[in-house]
Amino acid sequence: MTAAPKHAPKMAQMTIAQRLSPYAPVILVVLLMLFGLVAIPSTSSWLTLTVSGLAMGMMIFIMASGLTLVFGLMDVINFGHGAFVSVGAFVGVSFLLLLENMTGASSLALNLTAMMVAIFGAMAATGLMGWAFEKVIVKPVYGHHLKQILVTMGGLIVVEQLIIVLWGPEEIYITRPEALKGAITFFGAAIEKYRLVAVGIGLVVFLAMRWVLQRTKVGLIVRAGVENGEMVEALGYRLRLVFVGVFIAGSALAGLGGVLWGLYQEVITAHMGNQSMILIFIVVIIGGLGSVEGCFIGALLVGLLQNYVAFLEPKVALISNIGLMVAILMWRPQGMIPVVKAK
């Protein structure tokens, strides 16, 4: 009998493309910004548009991050997510109107206090509403996607009508707190203060979500639950409680996004959440279902592209994000950083 050949497997050398593949979505954001720098004739205009795009992206991310987690963990397609955006905006703006003497004062501390009250009030209201929404509307239709779409859209319509009953059918105009009005000049570019604040809040939310998901046991349970909920339960964790917690957190984040979006637009309507759902779904889909990082990068791409294209070719801006979604899905059919694999 001859001796068995010596087992010395050769490891294939990874190509540069394979090594860069995990970072490709981030590289895409940088490439898009470089494209903007080349295509936009003035650097100051590019800087203004870039900050504006980042701010818009951050706000979309805040609104969409809850939806992607809810979809990833609970396998729930929540078309009613926009209701939390609208309610958040209305509750937040109501607080700001109540605290008009604080928002109109020249003191930064008073302005920020009013903003914090509005944000926490909106998040508490939408978190509570999320708890009720999950219990009454979503819980009976777990595992039935078609029913989920129908019933959550119905929930959205009911909430919109309730907003009209409570706040009236007219749109409400709102002015930002004094300290957040106006712009600062940076390298010749006028950058709105409010947009910088939105970028800051978006970054804080993203880093906080990443920290919770990556560094805490609750985050581990959520990540594992996205992958195999049955096994998480077999280890002894009550996934149902985690479901509810994630739904409440996702709803509260949508409420925060609603306040920021309302102040960004300086006008709020009962339908603003519904209208933002197209952008939110685009971001969730291109980011990869269940992925917070993908959602973040997707939101930045959407925000930047919308601003650059609106400046360069306003008519094309309407379809730019749909085009972006088509291109990304052709490149990565499951989204940029998929967590939940298509079944």
Partner 1 sequence: MSDNILSLEGVRTNIAQYHILQGVDLNVPRGAVTMLLGRNGVGKTTTLRTIIGHWRAHEGRILFNGEDITKLPTPAIARLGVGFVPEDMGIFADLSVEENMILAAVSGPIDSARLEWLFSVFPALKTFWKSDAGTLSGGQKQMLSIARAMIEERKLYLIDEPTKGLAPAIISTMARALRELKEQGASILLVEQNFAVAKALGDTANVMDDGRLVWDGDMKTLATDADLQERLMGLSMETH
Instruction: Confirm or reject binding of residue 143 to partner 1 (CB under 8 A).
Output: no
Instruction: Confirm or reject binding of residue 236 to partner 1 (CB under 8 A).
Output: yes
User: How many residues in the chain?
Assistant: 343
Instruction: Confirm or reject binding of residue 238 to partner 1 (CB under 8 A).
Output: yes
DSSP 144: -
Instruction: Point out which span in 107-115, 128-136, 236-244, 257-265 binds partner 1 (CB under 8 A).
Output: 236-244
Instruction: Confirm or reject binding of residue 339 to partner 1 (CB under 8 A).
Output: yes
Pairing status of strand 189-192 against strand 183-186: antiparallel
Instruction: Confirm or reject binding of residue 227 to partner 1 (CB under 8 A).
Output: yes
Q: Is the dihedral of CA 219, 65, 262, 310 positive or negative?
A: positive
Nearer to partner 1 by Cβ, of 157 and 231: the residue is 231
DSSP 138: I
**C-alpha–C-alpha distance, residues 111 and 181, integer Å:** 11
**C-alpha–C-alpha distance, residues 177 and 32, integer Å:** 33
72 touches 340 (CB < 8 A): yes
Task: Compute the least distance from the CB of residue 19 to partner 1, in Å.
Answer: 15
The number of angstroms, rounded, from the C-alpha of 9 to the middle of its chain's C-alpha atoms is 45
Work out the number of other CB atoms within 10 angstroms of the CB of residue 35: 13
Instruction: Confirm or reject binding of residue 217 to partner 1 (CB under 8 A).
Output: yes
Nearer to partner 1 by Cβ, of 178 and 227: the residue is 227
Nearer to partner 1 by Cβ, of 284 and 339: the residue is 339
Instruction: Point out which span in 104-112, 162-170, 218-226, 265-273 binds partner 1 (CB under 8 A).
Output: 218-226
Of 203, 224, 310, 312, the residue at the interface with partner 1 (CB under 8 A) is 224
Instruction: Point out which span in 8-16, 58-66, 163-171, 233-241 binds partner 1 (CB under 8 A).
Output: 233-241
Q: Which value, in Å, is the radius of gyration of the alpha carbons in the chain?
A: 22
Instruction: Confirm or reject binding of residue 239 to partner 1 (CB under 8 A).
Output: yes
**C-alpha–C-alpha distance, residues 46 and 237, integer Å:** 49
Instruction: Confirm or reject binding of residue 209 to partner 1 (CB under 8 A).
Output: no
Of 139, 223, 271, 332, the residue at the interface with partner 1 (CB under 8 A) is 223
Of 18, 107, 228, 275, the residue at the interface with partner 1 (CB under 8 A) is 228
**C-alpha–C-alpha distance, residues 198 and 59, integer Å:** 7
Instruction: Confirm or reject binding of residue 193 to partner 1 (CB under 8 A).
Output: no
139 touches 151 (CB < 8 A): no
Instruction: Point out which span in 28-36, 59-67, 98-106, 227-235 binds partner 1 (CB under 8 A).
Output: 227-235
Instruction: Confirm or reject binding of residue 90 to partner 1 (CB under 8 A).
Output: no
Instruction: Confirm or reject binding of residue 14 to partner 1 (CB under 8 A).
Output: no
DSSP conformation letters of 201-252: HHHHHHHHHHHHHHHSHHHHHHHHHHHHHHHHHHTT--HHHHHHHHHHHHHH
Instruction: Confirm or reject binding of residue 237 to partner 1 (CB under 8 A).
Output: yes
Instruction: Confirm or reject binding of residue 210 to partner 1 (CB under 8 A).
Output: no
Number of H helices, E strands in the chain: 13, 4
Of 74, 93, 221, 289, the residue at the interface with partner 1 (CB under 8 A) is 221
Helix (H) or strand (E) run with residue 183 in it? strand 183-186
Q: Which residues bind partner 1 (CB under 8 A)?
A: 217, 220-221, 223-224, 227-228, 230-239, 339
